[in-house]
C-alpha cells in the first residue's frame, strides 16, 4: 500500500500539485486520470522519488520515503518497476539486454541466473523469440511488452506506468492493459497507472484517482464512475458521445 498525504510540488512560482491525499492498494490496478497538464506525470515522478516535493509525505508499506537513509532509499528503488511514457528502451541494446539491465544495476546475480530470469519474464509477456532483436525492429506493442518485462524483471513490489498504451491501436492497448492487470494480480504488486484512455478506465480501473489542476477532484472505481454526478469528472469522462451512451446503458441495466 502506498499512502500519499497532502503532497505539494512546485517548479519555481508554478504550484503544480496542490495538496494531494490518497492511497493505492496492493494487488490492485490504481489509475490516475485527468486532462493533459493536470499533473499526472509530475505526481508519478514524486511517487518514484525522481522529484523532490516541498510538503507532504509518501509512504510505501509504512515506510516514509523522506525519512529513509540513502541506503534504504536505494533498497526501496530496487523494489520499484517503471514503464515510462513512450517505452524508453535503450536503442543500442537488444531486447534481452534491455530486460536484463535492472538485474545488472540492482542485483549480484550470475550471468546464467540473469539469463534465466530474462527468459521467464519475456515468456510472461509472450515475447519468447525476441531476445536478439533490437528495439527498432519491434512494433510499438512489442516495445511496450519489453518495457513491462523490464519493469517486472526484478520482482517489484511497486509498478508505475505512465500512459502505457499511448500510441497503440485499441485492441493492442487492451492487451497491454490486461497484461498489466494480470501481472499486478499474479504477483500482488501495488500498481499505479497514468492514463487518459477511457477504455483503460472501464477495463482495469479498480481504483481511479481523478486529478484536476493539481488537486484530487474525485476518487472511486470503474463501477462508481458511472454513478457520480461530480461535474469535473463527468465533463472529463463523458466528453465523448460514445461514453455518454455507455453510461446511459450501464445505468439502465443496473438500476
Ligand atoms: N520539469 C518541469 N519543470 C517545470 N514545469 C513542469 C515540469 N514538468 C512538468 N511541469 C508542468 O507541470 C504541469 C503538469 O505536467 P504533467 O506532465 O504532470 O501533466 P500530465 O497530466 O502528465 O499531462 P499529459 O497527459 O499531457 O502527460 C504542466 O503545467 C507542466 O508544464
Ligand atoms: Mg503525462
Residue with cell 509504512: 62
Centre of ligand 1 to C-alpha 58, Å, is 20
Q: What is the pLDDT of residues 26-42, one digit of tens each?
A: 999 999 999 999 999 99
Which residue among 10, 35, 42 has the greatest number of ligand 1 atoms within 8 angstroms of its CB, and so is best to mutate? 42
Own/partner pairs, 118-124, CB within 8 angstroms, 24+ separation:
118/149, 118/153, 121/149, 121/150, 121/152, 121/153, 122/95, 122/96, 122/149, 124/149, 124/152, 124/183
What pLDDT is recorded for position 69?
95
Contacts of residue 72, Cβ cutoff 8 Å, sequence gap at least 6: 63
Please say if the pLDDT value at position 255 is more than 80: no
- Segment 103-130 shows an average pLDDT of 93
Q: What is the pLDDT of residues 174-217, one digit of tens each?
A: 888 999 999 999 999 999 999 988 888 888 999 999 999 999 99
Distance in angstroms (rounded) separating the CA atoms of residues 61 and 71: 17
What pLDDT is recorded for position 196?
83
What pLDDT is recorded for position 122?
95
Minimum CA distance residue for ligand 1 atom 14: 39
Centre of ligand 2 to C-alpha 85, Å, is 7
Domain ranges of the chain: 2-226
Question: Largest Cα–Cα distance of the chain, in whole Å?
Answer: 58
Global confidence as pTM: 0.92
Minimum CA distance residue for ligand 1 atom 16: 39
Q: What is the pLDDT of residues 138-180, one digit of tens each?
A: 998 999 999 999 999 999 999 999 999 888 888 888 888 999 9
Q: Which CATH class is domain 2-226?
A: alpha beta
Minimum CA distance residue for ligand 1 atom 30: 37
What pLDDT is recorded for position 210?
95
- Cα distances from 225 to residues 38, 45, 233, in angstroms, run 19, 26, 8
Question: pLDDT above 70 covers what percent of the chain?
Answer: 100
Amino acid at each position: 500500500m502506498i499512502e500519499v498525504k497532502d503532497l505539494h510540488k512546485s517548479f519555481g512560482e508554478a504550484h503544480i500539485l496542490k495538496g494531494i491525499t490518497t492511497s493505492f492498494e496492493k494487488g490492485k490496478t490504481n489509475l490516475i486520470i485527468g486532462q493533459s497538464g493536470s499533473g499526472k506525470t509530475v505526481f508519478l515522478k514524486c511517487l518514484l522519488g525522481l522529484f523532490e516535493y516541498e510538503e507532504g509525505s509518501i509512504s510505501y508499506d509504512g515506510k516514509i520515503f523522506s525519512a529513509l537513509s540513502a541506503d534504504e532509499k536505494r533498497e526501496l528503488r530496487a523494489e520499484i518497476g517503471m514503464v515510462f511514457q513512450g517505452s524508453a528502451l535503450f536503442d543500442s541494446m537488444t531486447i534481452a539486454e534491455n530486460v536484463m539491465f535492472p538485474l545488472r544495476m540492482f542485483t549480484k546475480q550470475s550471468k546464467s541466473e540473469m539469463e534465466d530470469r530474462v527468459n521467464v519474464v519475456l515468456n510472461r509477456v509472450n515475447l519468447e523469440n525476441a531476445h536478439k532483436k533490437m528495439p527498432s525492429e519491434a512494433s510499438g506493442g512489442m516495445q511496450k511488452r519489453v518495457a513491462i518485462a523490464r519493469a517486472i524483471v526484478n520482482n517489484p513490489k511497486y509498478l508505475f506506468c505512465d500512459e502505457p498504451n499511448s500510441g497503440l491501436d485499441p485492441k493492442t492497448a487492451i492487451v497491454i492493459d490486461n497484461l498489466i492487470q494480470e501481472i499486478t494480480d499474479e504477483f500482488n504488486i501495488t500498481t499505479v497507472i497514468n492514463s487518459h484512455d477511457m477504455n483503460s478506465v472501464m477495463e482495469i480501473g479498480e481504483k481511479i484517482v481523478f486529478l484536476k489542476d493539481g488537486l484530487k477532484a474525485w476518487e472511486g472505481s470503474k463501477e462508481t464512475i458511472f454513478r457520480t454526478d461530480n461535474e469535473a469528472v463527468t465533463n472529463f469522462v463523458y466528453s465523448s458521445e460514445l461514453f455518454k451512451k455507455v453510461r446511459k446503458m450501464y445505468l439502465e441495466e443496473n438500476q
